[in-house]
Amino acid sequence: MKRSPRHGTLSLALAAVLTLGALAGGCQRSAAPNCDELDAGAPVDPTLLAFLSRARAAHHRADDPESRGDVAASIRELETLLGGPLPKGGAAPEVREVLADTRARLADLRSRGGDYDRAEQDVAEGLRLVPEPSYFRGHLIEVRGLAEERRSKALAAAGDTARAEAAKERALAAFREAMEIQAGVIERTAPPAPR
């Protein structure tokens, strides 16, 4: 089965955070001359790093059954992450973002299996975790569009043209919203244009 393009996104983000954590930890223990610049911030929380590592491992474990077309097994692997321990408070932005991204992947998997209502529940749960405009919020809305697009095709194949058209409209609206959110993210992070 074709892998979703979002797999690399989470793994790369987690790898970057874990690498930064390792560098920060190494810098604190070394006498490197340029260490002061790297060590100026707060140390990386080892509990947060453990959570991020656990999340990356769960997503890797979900990759194998997904690649074999076993969507249900992939979903079970991701649900272990959602049901597992969180760093105290669980409100760190990194924790919320990883959980939101996991919800997006679950929604994608569920909609590929035809479980559109559960996919929408995952999207809604994810959106509660990331209420502000961000890549993660935009990605959840994009997945909502994918799920509605799949729903539309299934309804059309079943001959339910009215409901298929309504789902198609919801998909297009979600894609438009995702594009607007991501455009805002790009504009906020782009360097100012030269004058």
Tell me the domain boundaries of the chain. Answer: 7-188
Average pLDDT rounded to a whole number, residues 120-133: 97
Residue among 142, 128, 126 nearest 185 (CA): 142
Measured from the Cβ of residue 12, the count of other Cβ atoms closer than 10 Å reads 11
Distances (CA, A) of 31 to 5, 24, 35, 36, 75: 41, 12, 7, 9, 46
* pTM metric for this prediction: 0.79
> How many whole angstroms separate alpha carbon 39 and alpha carbon 53?
22
Please check whether residue 37 is in contact with residue 23, taking contact to mean a CB–CB distance below 8 angstroms.
no
Instruction: Indicate the angle between helix axes 93-112 and 116-129, nearest 10 degrees.
Output: 170
**Architecture of the 7-188 domain:** Alpha Horseshoe (1.25)
Please check whether residue 150 is in contact with residue 112, taking contact to mean a CB–CB distance below 8 angstroms.
yes
Residue 68 or residue 30, greater confidence: 68
- What secondary structure letter does DSSP report for 32? -
Distances (CA, A) of 39 to 6, 13, 19, 22, 135: 32, 21, 14, 12, 28
Residue 183 or residue 189, greater confidence: 183
Q: What tens digit of pLDDT does each residue of 68-121 get?
A: 999 999 999 999 999 999 998 767 899 999 999 999 999 999 999 999 999 999
